[in-house]
Amino acid sequence: MKHKVATTVNGHPQEHEVEPRLLLVHYLRDVVGLTGTHIGCDTSQCGACTILVDGKAVKSCTMFAVQAEGKNLTTIEGLAHDGQLHPLQQAFWDEHGLQCGYCTPGFIMAAAYLLAQNPNPTDDDIRKGLEGNLCRCTGYVNIIKSVKSAAAMMGGATEKAGERAAAAKRS
């Protein structure tokens, strides 16, 4: 028996009949046609399938599509606007935060959640924020540089530095 699921994916309403056991990652890839969310392990160990569900980072292999009913989903495809890469996407490109690229969408989505919570993370904050995502190609150094660069582009690092400078002048 199929169940109707109505969601918003990257700002676009979606409504489909799906099997109740269909995982959200398969719904996004096979039903909606957004293949940027990758399937790495199906056991929630690698983070390649990380997306945002109502703004929170979620491994989409840990949810059934029917559990997304009424939710707002953001995938890697939903970050760029009007042909412009999101600062995280640009930073991963500029700072060589990817090699084969398979894990990159999951890292970027986890980093988007991290930066929404903490616009000026330390290296340790970034490591902790990305700890559920695995990369088998890199040593993570450039991934951390990418997130820091994106934070600066998004105003986090610059804003905090400006606040510190202003506070130092007042002292």
**Confidence (pLDDT) at 156:** 73
Helix (H), strand (E) at residue 9: strand 3-9
Report yes or no: 91 and 147 within 8 Å, Cβ to Cβ: yes
DSSP 23: B
List per-block mean pLDDT (blocks of 10 residues) for the chain, which spans 171 residues: 97 98 98 97 93 98 98 98 96 95 97 98 97 92 97 75 47 49
Quote the pTM value: 0.89
**Which residue in the block uniquely carries the two structure tokens 């000026």?**
120
CA dist., res. 145 & res. 126, Å (int)? 10
Domains and CATH numbers, the chain: 3-78 (3.10.20.30), 87-170 (1.10.150.120)
Q: Which SS3 state, helix, strand or coil, does residue 131 take?
A: coil
DSSP string, 30-84: III--TTS--S-SSSSS-TTEEEETTEEEEGGGSBGGGGTT-EEE-GGGT-BTTB
* Per-residue tokens: 74: 């953001």
Q: What is the pLDDT of residue 17?
A: 98
What pLDDT was estimated at residue 157? Answer: 57
What is the per-residue pLDDT for 130?
97
> How long, in residues, is the chain?
171
**CB 76 within 8 Å of CB 37:** yes
Quick one: tokens of 159? 């804003």
